[in-house]
Amino acid sequence: MPLAIIPPMPYKVAVLPGDGIGPEVIDEAVKVLKASGSEIEFEHGLLGGSAYDEVGTPLPAETVETCHDADAVLMGAVGGPKWDKIEPASMRPEIGGLLAIRRELGLYANIRPAKTLRPLIHASPLKEGRNMMDLVVVRELTGGIYFGEPRHRAADGSRAVDSCVYTRAEIERITLRAFEIARKRRSFVTHVDKANVLETSRLWREVVDELSTKNPDISVHHMLVDNCAMQLIRDPGQFDVILTENMFGDILSDEASMITGSLGLLPSASLGEPKSGRVFGLYEPVHGSAPDIAGQGKANPLAAILSAAMMLRFSFGEEEQADRIECAVESALSEGLRTADIFEAHTRLVSTSEMGDAIVAKMV
Ligand code: NAD
């Protein structure tokens, strides 16, 4: 990721813990950031169901302001059964909180690395030897069917409409972002679509092909999404960068994450256009609010901690500190520390905060 301008220290980080296990995992990520040696000022904001309960909206104006004032945002997760039936639906945590903040901050590029970690090779549901993977999903985040208009339901409930809409400009900017990322890796981009059926996919192909011709150092090929879902299970090692639209990226990145062993391991960055030359981003674990384990100290904080490492690397250029965190994570796992989701025989079960403490201890 080219880092044009690094903000001055102390870095200002907006912290949005959200709902369910969000606050638990974010506490650990903040603990790790505090131990990283970077000077950071944290400002907390409300988001999601907890914000709705407290102030009647899942995305309060103060939260948006806090994010705009910050150099980067660290987010937990939102949602839960308590808020699933709120009407109008635009007040629900996922739509009025999560999707709204992404759009409000112009975060169109969702970057989700998924890598098999050696100490967790047995946690993968795929056979050993078939599960080595090191890929990045670059998902378009503010277009497509999650945002397209019209969307509505017939008054009698008999029919519903969602629209998938993409513009050439939206496809161009995410494709160039994917090429930038690929350039720092193995320079191999798999563009995933459903061009045998969808018009938007055919536009994606056209634009990706045009940009591919102008960027001959990147090797690009196209794959249909159904084939990609299958190829990820058959041979996940074949992928370097997967470039795709919003909904396909949502689904494929969860699939890829599971190959690593748990959803609780996968970090993500959502980036917009550089802000005054700076890389502004929102960093969050890929997982949701996991209401089934919330409040029990069972959540795996590693996805949130690795998201904090991505923040140090992408937004603050703190390569060395990011490496330290990532090495501390591998080291804690190599020593056999495990939260419940990745626990196996002959390993040591630890709670969310014990895992956070162990990472901090390994960073010195
Ligand atoms: P989920 O990711 O919350 O949970 C799926 C499964 O993975 C659950 O069994 C959960 O216990 C487990 N899990 C997830 N994260 C874990 C972690 N860190 N450690 C250990 N186990 C973990 O997905 P879901 O159950 O489909 O959704 C729950 C709620 O989260 C819903 O309201 C959904 O809309 C919301 N959601 C929010 C986001 C977000 O905020 N970015 C993303 C996905 C889902």
Digit-coded pLDDT (tens) for 323-359:
999 999 999 999 999 999 999 889 999 999 999 999 9
Atom 26 in ligand 1: which residue has the minimum CA distance?
A: 288
Asked if residue 333 and residue 321 are part of one domain, the reply reads yes
Q: In which residue are the tokens 């907390």 written?
A: 44
Task: Determine how β-strand 188-193 pairs with β-strand 219-224.
Answer: parallel
Domain range enclosing 100 = 9-108+263-364
The pLDDT value given to residue 5: 80
The pLDDT value given to residue 2: 47
Catalytic residue among 250, 298, 341, 362: 250
Asked if residue 242 and residue 267 are part of one domain, the reply reads no
Asked if residue 191 and residue 301 are part of one domain, the reply reads no
Q: Ligand 1 within 6 A of 292 CB?
A: yes
The pLDDT value given to residue 1: 52
Q: Ligand 1 within 6 A of 288 CB?
A: yes
Would you state the structure tokens that stand for residue 105, as one six-digit string? Answer: 């901050």
Residue 229: CATH number of its domain = 3.40.718.10
Catalytic residue among 53, 209, 226, 323: 226
Asked if residue 216 and residue 161 are part of one domain, the reply reads yes
Asked if residue 240 and residue 281 are part of one domain, the reply reads no
**CA–CA distance from 80 to each of 49, 53, 103, 133 (Å)?**
8, 12, 21, 31
**CA–CA distance from 66 to each of 73, 94, 106, 224 (Å)?**
9, 19, 15, 40
Q: Which of 183, 102, 179 shows the shortest CA–CA distance to 144?
A: 102
Low-confidence stretches of the chain (pLDDT < 70) are 1-4
Which of 259, 289, 313 is the last residue before a domain boundary? 259
Tell me how many domains the chain contains.
2
- Nearest-atom number in ligand 1 for the CA of 76 is 40
Q: Largest Cα–Cα distance of the chain, in whole Å?
A: 62
The pLDDT value given to residue 13: 98
Asked if residue 249 and residue 303 are part of one domain, the reply reads no
C-alpha Rg value of the chain to the nearest Å: 20
- Nearest-atom number in ligand 1 for the CA of 290 is 3
Asked if residue 156 and residue 268 are part of one domain, the reply reads no
Which of 201, 233, 259 is the last residue before a domain boundary? 259
Q: Ligand 1 within 6 A of 97 CB?
A: no
Asked if residue 202 and residue 275 are part of one domain, the reply reads no
The pLDDT value given to residue 291: 97
The pLDDT value given to residue 207: 98
**Are 157 and 190 a contacting pair, CB within 8 Å?**
no
- Nearest-atom number in ligand 1 for the CA of 48 is 40
Active-site annotation holds for 194: yes
The pLDDT value given to residue 261: 85
Neighbours of 7 (CB within 10 A): 19
Would you state the structure tokens that stand for residue 202, as one six-digit string? Answer: 């055919």
CB-count exposure of residue 125 (10 Å: 0-12, 13-18, 19+):
exposed
Asked if residue 130 and residue 253 are part of one domain, the reply reads yes
Residue 142 lies in a domain: yes
Which of 212, 236, 259 is the last residue before a domain boundary? 259
Active-site annotation holds for 250: yes
**To the nearest 10°, the Cα dihedral for 236, 307, 328, 291?**
-90
Asked if residue 274 and residue 189 are part of one domain, the reply reads no
**CA–CA distance from 206 to each of 167, 172, 178, 309, 337 (Å)?**
12, 10, 16, 35, 48
Atom 36 in ligand 1: which residue has the minimum CA distance?
A: 288
